[in-house]
Structure 1
Amino acid sequence: MLKKRGVVVICDSLRNDFVGQQTPVLNNLQQTATRFTNTKAVFPSTTRVSSASIATGCHPRQHGLLGNTMILSEPEGLITRSVGKPAFRQELFEATGHYLRVPTLAQRLQPMYTTAIYSNVSPGAAYFFDPENFGYVYHPAGSYAPGGSQITGSDALDIKPGADGDQEMTRRFCQRLLQDDTLGLAVLWLSEPDKSGHAQSLGNLAHRAAIEHAQDCVDKVLSVISTLRARGEDILLMVGSDHGMQTITHQVDIGEELVKAGFKASVTSRDLVVAPNGTSAILGFDDDYPHRDALLPWLGSQPWVGEYVYGESLADWGLPDESACRVAISLAGDESCNHLGIPGTSWYAFDPDTPKDMIGQGQHGGRHRYESHPFLMVQGKAFPEGLQISTPTSLVDYAPTILNHLSIEVSAMQGQPLQTLARINIEPHSHFIAS
């Protein structure tokens, strides 16, 4: 039996300010865990990028996955592809010669530990946690064992996104934790409250019910963790989210705007390509693009642009400067409230490949406060109960924290082991929750 394990539960898109008295399971958890109150999302603040960043301990600039949609350089020129589709892994490999540019946790834990991720979000988010199949990946679009052999029949994960599917996945996950002593890392990635938040107003009854369903799944995992610890296992538990959400008040088809302004030959042309990512977007063009100097000031004058970076400044947002990523945009927004009093509004980058009217509904992708502020609680021997730490942390801190717990060397990562912060129990930027 393994004496040490890491367990991660992600409540997709549950923003930090929604965690408190209104979420009793999570509120109780923070009494027995350390809560990192200033955790930041990566950019774009989307799930597929977040998955790769959690798995690698690196920002997109290093691991190479740049959005929920991503621009690839193919023989016919630049083109935008959806990372969410199962086929994207092969498309990325054919265009770049790699899946991710750096090792994942599943790879680093070999051969000492087995890993498994159970995911009910998009296929791309599941598969890019472990794109080369070093461990087990369970997803409704296809489940795979180490080495890439497909898991079929009753062992596959035949569920749908949403609360019911999350409940069944959690049941399977908990069963696996109790029965499989070889698992060194187990990850449960819930579809709620993200699925519900995208479909309606943030804070309405359906959205709050989805948060309750996610809490119920967390509670079931907590029960299993207690059983494992009673057996003598040393469990590191990380419960958090990948990003938050904003309410959409306006939307824009950036490709059409670029065509109207004369910066793009047509909506399907490959001279200037747009990768819409919710409340953000990435623009790509080759070195010989003739309108670069005029494009940048034009972007700065558009009402839908909140902030943008290009060139060497892309590194400040964790992005590379290459033909597939020349300009990154966080769309305009502010902290005004929706009709239910939930703060945080934004523009939405309309995606012509998946056309939706998102006005009044939840989205994310940009750098605004509520979409870029996930929550994180860590429970284990190295993390004092009831401690709150406000030192800035990030999704890239998950991987080094897990490796540290399993006594595996942390190297070539941009994140930090959170055990280092937790060792300092009393400091100016931290305090204990009164019990």
Structure 2
Amino acid sequence: MTRVIMVALDGLRPDMVDPALTPHLAALAAAGTRFANARSVFPSETRVATPSLITGCRPGGHGMVANTLFDAAVAPDRLLRTKLVEDVLAMAAGAESPLQRRSLGEHMAPAALRFALVSAGTAGAARLLHPAADRLGAFRWNVEDTGGATAAEVRDALGPTPEAAVPNIPRVDFAGRVLVEHVLPRHRPDVALLWLSEPDVSFHWGGLRAEHTLRALRAADAVLGRIVAWRDAQPDAQQIAMIVLSDHGHVTGRGKHCLRSELQRAGFRAGTGMAADVDVVVAPAAAPGLWLRDPSMAPQVADFLAAQPWAGPLLARDPAILPPGRAAPLALLGSAHARSADLVATFAGTEDPDEWGMPGTAPFDAPDVPEGGGMHGGLHRAELATVLVMQGGPFRRGAIAQQAADLTDIAPTVLHVLGLAAEGMEGRPLRAAVDAAADMVPAQELHAMPGGFVLEAMRSEAGRLYPTALRRA
């Protein structure tokens, strides 16, 4: 019976995988199947990506549309931050989860198969990755957990969780120990997911190739090496497959803006909650969301954004609130949902190299990320490109797959190798990982976007669109 170990390195750019910096990941990629055309979802943010990974659906299907968002029915006076469990549960409105599709663990449970999560990320992200853990009696642990039986179980087995740091090496290393020394040998899950917060934390706070960022990436790779060594020492090692992934990439942030302040200076009543003196709620991000008190304001907002040299094309949940051609539909990206912002602004990135020679820079709106820090969330090719490697078990050896793939295709692939159907998932099993004949080179497309921009995209063999990059026409 195949078992699967999944390891996520948050934010890792595929062009940073090499034998010198990430020897264990590079070796795994060479030994297994590497997907050259793996992509994130839009917006390319972690708490949008994690539900997409675990439900096999894009944001328009599962309903988690941004890291930070506004929902007047839940919190009319403030923004919701999905890194916080309390805000995730507030969005659930008394239900188990705010997600509107079943998670991987829920798909596995009827077959008496067990899914376990070990997370060095935020508590909110961990809840979204395994929302039904309590109901299913399954293992879910996050480095921010302090109370409850699972936190006590880990503390008794391995001691206290280290404090958060930049780089977050102590917590990444400890999470690896929780998986290798406790969860895998004691709980023996059929599928385990380890979520590592590096290199994302260090990308944000130090830049893509800062000295401490490289140390963090090496530390995350070392954790992967320990997992591979554990797997290879098991009597059923040939039946234990590994999937290594990242949820998004990064660009270097150049040109920090506060869109709310920019709108205020232009005369708009903008804020972070729909107070009596606010007409536009703005959620800061690499692709900021704007919720309008009155949709008739949309043309004015669009005119303002179109005049800004840092602005990219405008996206809309319902493009009909603007004259034709002024906004692209969020549905084109699989991101239109009732929770989506009325308008989503984007920033105009470039392919220019940063101070380390890494291609990709973009303006951004993020109060807690410094100028020159790594940023993600938009449609730049460096934000959308992800790592995806499958090795061991039934996966092909020494292969580079050209098949179009994104985060929503990973859970269906896991279910496929377990012999289960991916009912209700938008993604499909990546059969190129097990059968060379199934590897289809995707068709390339260009889609005209407002403001003189073009969206590069792939079209899969099944007809599904995979956005690749936004660029100037």
* TM-score scaled by length of structure 1: 0.89
Residue 62 (str. 1) matches residue 61 (str. 2)? yes
Distance 2:218 2:146 in 1: 27
Distance 1:373 1:163 in 2: 24
Match in the other structure for 1:433? none
What SS does the aligned partner of 1:127 have? helix
Amino acid at match of 1:4: T
Residue-pair matches, total: 418
Match in the other structure for 1:121? 121
Task: From the superposition, tell whether residues 302 and 198 of structure 1 become closer, same or farther in structure 2 (CA, over 3 Å).
Answer: same
Task: From the superposition, tell whether residues 154 and 298 of structure 1 become closer, same or farther in structure 2 (CA, over 3 Å).
Answer: same
Amino acid at match of 2:348: A
How many Å apart are 1:400 and its aligned residue?
Answer: 0.2
* Cα contact 1:56–1:413 (8 A) shared by 2: yes
Higher relative contact order (CA 8 A, sep 6+): 1
Distance 1:318 1:144 in 2: 37
Residue 251 (str. 1) matches residue 256 (str. 2)? yes
What SS does the aligned partner of 2:424 have? coil
Match in the other structure for 2:291? 284
How many Å apart are 1:381 and its aligned residue?
Answer: 3.6
Match in the other structure for 1:137? 140
* Cα contact 2:42–2:378 (8 A) shared by 1: yes
Match in the other structure for 2:102? 103
Match in the other structure for 2:189? 183
Match in the other structure for 1:319? 335
Match in the other structure for 2:449? none
**Root-mean-square deviation (Å):** 2.5
192-201 or 293-302: which moved more? 293-302
How many Å apart are 1:222 and its aligned residue?
Answer: 0.6
Residues 354-389 of structure 1 deviation map (CA, whole Å, 9 limit, x = unaligned): x33521111111111112111110013432211101
Distance 2:77 2:340 in 1: 7
Distance 2:128 2:146 in 1: 13
Task: From the superposition, tell whether residues 387 and 336 of structure 1 become closer, same or farther in structure 2 (CA, over 3 Å).
Answer: same
* Cα contact 1:285–1:324 (8 A) shared by 2: no
1:23-422 correspondence runs (5 A)? 23-74=22-73, 77=76, 79-94=78-93, 99-111=98-110, 112-133=112-133, 134=136, 135-142=138-145, 151-152=151-152, 153-154=155-156, 158-161=161-164, 162-180=168-186, 182-228=188-234, 230-231=235-236, 234-264=239-269, 268=273, 269=275, 270-277=278-285, 279-286=286-293, 288-310=294-316, 311=318, 313-322=329-338, 324-350=340-366, 355-356=367-368, 358-420=370-432, 422=434
Detail structure 1 runs of 4+ shifted over 6 Å in the superposition.
none
- Find the partner of 1:19 among 10, 17, 27: 17
* Cα contact 2:241–2:395 (8 A) shared by 1: no
How many Å apart are 1:177 and its aligned residue?
Answer: 4.9
- Listed as ranges, the gaps of 5+ residues in structure 2 are 320-328, 443-473
Task: From the superposition, tell whether residues 95 and 261 of structure 1 become closer, same or farther in structure 2 (CA, over 3 Å).
Answer: farther
* Cα contact 2:63–2:337 (8 A) shared by 1: no
Distance 1:77 1:63 in 2: 22
Distance 2:271 2:228 in 1: 53
Residues 117-152 of structure 1 deviation map (CA, whole Å, 9 limit, x = unaligned): 11111111111101232332111222788xxx6542
Distance 1:143 1:396 in 2: 31
Task: From the superposition, tell whether residues 232 and 123 of structure 1 become closer, same or farther in structure 2 (CA, over 3 Å).
Answer: closer
Residues 49-81 of structure 1 deviation map (CA, whole Å, 9 limit, x = unaligned): 111111100111111111111211227747421
* Cα contact 1:119–1:190 (8 A) shared by 2: yes
Distance 1:76 1:86 in 2: 15
* TM-score scaled by length of structure 2: 0.82
How many Å apart are 1:231 and its aligned residue?
Answer: 2.7
Task: From the superposition, tell whether residues 116 and 265 of structure 1 become closer, same or farther in structure 2 (CA, over 3 Å).
Answer: closer
Residues 209-233 of structure 1 deviation map (CA, whole Å, 9 limit, x = unaligned): 11111110110111112123x3366
Distance 1:30 1:144 in 2: 38
Distance 1:215 1:265 in 2: 43
Distance 1:190 1:356 in 2: 20
Distance 1:173 1:76 in 2: 36
Task: From the superposition, tell whether residues 18 and 104 of structure 1 become closer, same or farther in structure 2 (CA, over 3 Å).
Answer: same
Distance 2:263 2:338 in 1: 20
Match in the other structure for 2:323? none
Percent identity, please: 28
* Cα contact 1:114–1:183 (8 A) shared by 2: yes
Distance 1:422 1:226 in 2: 20
Distance 1:281 1:85 in 2: 19
* Cα contact 1:137–1:144 (8 A) shared by 2: no
Amino acid at match of 2:385: H
What SS does the aligned partner of 1:378 have? strand
Task: From the superposition, tell whether residues 115 and 197 of structure 1 become closer, same or farther in structure 2 (CA, over 3 Å).
Answer: same
* Cα contact 1:137–1:143 (8 A) shared by 2: no
- Listed as ranges, the gaps of 5+ residues in structure 1 are 431-435
Distance 1:426 1:116 in 2: 30
